[in-house]
């Protein structure tokens, strides 16, 4: 049963894409999932992340400090500036521009851990980076959003700070406490937790897209292009930055994935709560969830193929030359 749950959870891009696509044409199927249900849904996701962590994980950060710090710096430097630049270049209307900048200022998403596994990257480092960027987001997301989106609309950084605190720190901490004090309960729910998170994210995205289906269809090309370019740029620049700093290949892949994949569910909830007057602000986050999953899956498949090719090249075939070398060595040993 656990294998089935894992298989269904690993199809994350498929579920988000299918739910979002159906929401464009059958909005009523998904718009019922709205209001406080979205907030509680994100809380469930963050608790699910929390139960995979322990307080001892913070000690591990000190042993992997350099790649973690580089990854977090890239997360909150590359993506926010890239989001602002793309919103300006595409001349997105105010609500969509604010939404794009907000999701660009969000931390890495938990789906990055799955993609890191598929890409044969450093999964443990991916989990650490997701955890650290999530807690850093309590400060960084409000500050960066106010700085970069403030040119479009007034941004209440304190309100954004408290909203982030409520939907990130509290549920993640609760999950960590459950992990520590109720291990049997955590062990029982762990197999199904990733699948529940995937379904909730798909429902959040589909609900937002369904509620704004007409507007999305009308402005599909610039909006979809902007979101796709944001994530494609994040993956590419994250990898290049890590390579320039001479990190090993697995770490470069991990940082690329962490930078390129945002916590789109958090972006959607923050957009709804902090920019309630902007109905379209959550839309880039909803589309982001589909795009970063698809792009991440493609990168992961490519890297996995490269790893397989490299392994094959490193395995020396039993050629005639190799056999001659072995025969010479045996003759030498016989003579001795």
Report the distance separating Cα 285 and Cα 271, nearest Å.
8
Average pLDDT, the chain: 79
Report the distance separating Cα 234 and Cα 248, nearest Å.
19
- Give residue 295's region: left, alpha or beta (phi > 0; psi -120 to 50): alpha
Residue 209's CB is within 10 A of a number of other CB atoms, namely: 26
Q: Are 92 and 226 in contact (CB under 8 A)?
A: yes
For position 334, what pLDDT does the model report? 44
Report the distance separating Cα 79 and Cα 144, nearest Å.
10
Q: List, for residues 139-169, the tens digit of each pLDDT value.
A: 888 899 888 988 777 777 777 777 777 777 7
Q: List, for residues 85-119, the tens digit of each pLDDT value.
A: 999 999 888 889 999 999 999 888 777 776 776 67
Q: Which of 258, 218, 235, 199 is nearest to 70 (CA)?
A: 258
For position 196, what pLDDT does the model report? 80
For position 238, what pLDDT does the model report? 92
Stretch 199-217: mean pLDDT, rounded?
Answer: 78
pTM: 0.74
Q: Residues 50, 67, 268, 25: is their CA dihedral positive or negative?
A: negative
Q: List, for residues 216-225, the tens digit of each pLDDT value.
A: 777 777 888 9
Report the distance separating Cα 187 and Cα 167, nearest Å.
24
Structure tokens that stand for 18 in this block:
């299918």
Structure tokens that stand for 76 in this block:
């909150």
């Amino acid at each position: 049963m656990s294998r089935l749950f894992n298989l269904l959870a690993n199809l994350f891009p498929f579920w988000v894409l299918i739910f979002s696509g159906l929401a464009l044409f059958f909005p009523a199927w998904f718009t019922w999932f709205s209001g406080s249900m979205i907030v509680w849904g994100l809380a469930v996701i963050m608790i699910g992340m929390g139960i995979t962590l322990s307080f001892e994980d913070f000690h591990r950060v000190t042993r992997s400090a350099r790649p973690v710090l580089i990854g977090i710096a890239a997360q909150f430097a590359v993506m926010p500036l890239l989001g602002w630049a793309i919103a300006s270049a595409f001349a997105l209307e105010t609500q969509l521009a604010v939404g794009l900048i907000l999701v660009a200022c969000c931390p890495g998403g938990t789906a990055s851990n799955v993609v890191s596994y598929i890409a044969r990257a450093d999964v443990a480092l991916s989990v650490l980076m997701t955890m650290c960027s999530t807690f850093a987001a309590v400060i960084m997301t409000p500050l960066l959003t106010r700085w970069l989106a403030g040119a479009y609309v007034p941004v209440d950084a304190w309100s954004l700070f408290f909203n982030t605190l409520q939907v990130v720190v509290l549920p993640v901490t609760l999950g960590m406490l459950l992990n520590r004090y109720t291990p049997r309960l955590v062990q029982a729910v762990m197999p199904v937790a990733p699948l529940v998170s995937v379904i909730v994210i798909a429902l959040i995205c589909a609900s937002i897209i369904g509620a704004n289906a007409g507007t999305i269809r009308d402005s599909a090309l610039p909006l979809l292009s902007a979101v796709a370019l944001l994530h494609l740029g994040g993956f590419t620049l994250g990898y290049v930055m890590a390579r320039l700093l001479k990190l090993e290949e697995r770490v470069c892949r991990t940082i690329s994935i962490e930078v390129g994949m945002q916590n789109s569910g958090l972006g959607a909830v923050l957009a709804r709560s902090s920019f309630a007057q902007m109905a379209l602000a959550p839309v880039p986050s909803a589309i982001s969830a589909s795009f970063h999953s698809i792009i991440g899956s493609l990168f992961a498949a490519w890297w996995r193929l490269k790893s397989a090719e490299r392994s094959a090249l490193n395995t020396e075939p039993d050629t005639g030359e190799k056999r001659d070398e072995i025969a010479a060595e045996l003759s030498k040993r016989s003579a001795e």
